[in-house]
Amino acid sequence: MSSPRIDETLREQLLSRPDMILDDRDLMQALIASNERAMGSNIVDLRGLAMERLESRLDRLEDTHRSVIAAAYENLAGTNQIHRAILRMLDPVAFEPFLRDLNGEVAAILRVDIIRLVLETGHPDDTRAVSKLGDVLSLAEPGFVSSYLTDRADAPLRQVTLRQLGAGDRRIFGPRADLIRSEACLKLDFGPRRLPGLLVMGSEDPQMFTPQQGTDLLAFFGGVFERTMRRWLS
């Protein structure tokens, strides 16, 4: 009994473009399975086993490739976001607009719900002057920054601390503290013989800032912020 012949037009098309079959994984697997059935159950097809292993490795490589590309795009988007926030932060030529933009346009670009700046001071009288600058800036006693950064975590003091919260600290976020579920704390160094400061970004999203995230971009943002503040504090 003769085997049925394939349609001549289709046959010529396949002969002229064999890559149509080679590039179709489902079709190739069907052909391999058909070949195994023709050989019988008492023959081990080492070539087929090798192809299966190669396909499995290829699948893993493709998954890794997609993950790497996705991470690269995410990192690029984060870099662009930080750059735009820095450019906006550098626009004001006076301190009050600088602070106002910090919790306005800069916070919007960074997609955080609130930004607060805390400066340590040994002069209680400074509080009255700061009250005129709005609720973005607040003053604290010396040692507050270190104590705040190590109070809720056993980790050593870092330049950038990311953590999830049950609620924010009222000393930082005021009446909005109960809504805050994660925060990024940037420790600020204003130079020799100056007390440190703290820039805190708060979010109502508990996944916005987590300890597993990278901190390079926020560390860069904090470094630029430090240098900008030194100009205002001089």
Model confidence pLDDT, tens digit, residues 34-78? 666 666 555 556 566 676 777 778 778 887 878 777 667 777 788
Q: Cα separations (Å) of 75 from 5, 66, 69, 78, 79?
A: 55, 14, 10, 5, 6
In this predicted structure, the answer to whether residue 1 has a pLDDT above a threshold of 70 is no
Q: Tell me, what's the pLDDT at 65?
A: 76
Q: Answer yes or no: are the C-beta atoms of 201 and 184 closer than 8 Å.
A: yes
Per-residue model confidence as pLDDT tens digits over 151-210: 655 556 788 999 999 999 998 998 999 999 999 999 999 888 889 999 999 999 999 999
Q: Comparing C-alpha atoms, which of 196, 176, 175, 165 is closest to residue 184?
A: 165
pLDDT band at 85 (very low <50, low <70, confident <90, very high): very high
Radius of gyration of the chain (CA): 30
In this predicted structure, the answer to whether residue 129 has a pLDDT above a threshold of 80 is no
SS3 of residue 94 by DSSP: coil
pLDDT band at 223 (very low <50, low <70, confident <90, very high): very high
SS3 of residue 66 by DSSP: helix
Sheet holding 114-120, edge to edge: 137-140, 114-120, 197-203, 182-188, 160-164
In this predicted structure, the answer to whether residue 131 has a pLDDT above a threshold of 60 is no
| Mean pLDDT, residues 91-102 | 89
End-to-end CA distance of the chain: 98
The β-bridge relationship of strands 182-188 and 160-164 is antiparallel
Q: Tell me, what's the pLDDT at 122?
A: 74
Q: Tell me, what's the pLDDT at 221?
A: 95
Q: Tell me, what's the pLDDT at 37?
A: 61
The β-bridge relationship of strands 114-120 and 197-203 is antiparallel
Q: Tell me, what's the pLDDT at 219?
A: 94
Q: Which of 48-57, 134-143, 225-234 has the lowest mean pLDDT?
A: 48-57
Question: In 3-state terms, the chain is what percent helix, strand and coil (to 5)?
Answer: 55, 15, 30
Q: Cα separations (Å) of 47 from 32, 35, 38?
A: 10, 11, 15
Q: Tell me, what's the pLDDT at 8?
A: 78
| Mean pLDDT, residues 8-33 | 73
Q: Comparing C-alpha atoms, which of 116, 114, 104 is closest to residue 180?
A: 114
| Mean pLDDT, residues 11-18 | 76
The residue among 177 and 32 whose pLDDT is bigger is: 177
Q: Tell me, what's the pLDDT at 151?
A: 62
- Give all strands (DSSP E) within the chain, no chain letters: 114-120, 137-140, 160-164, 182-188, 197-203
Residue with tokens 């002069």: 123
Q: Tell me, what's the pLDDT at 3?
A: 54
Reported pTM: 0.68
70-233: in CATH 3.30.450.40 = yes
The residue among 150 and 90 whose pLDDT is bigger is: 90
Mean residue pLDDT across the chain? 81
Q: Tell me, what's the pLDDT at 167?
A: 92
Indicate the domain borders of the chain: 8-59, 70-233
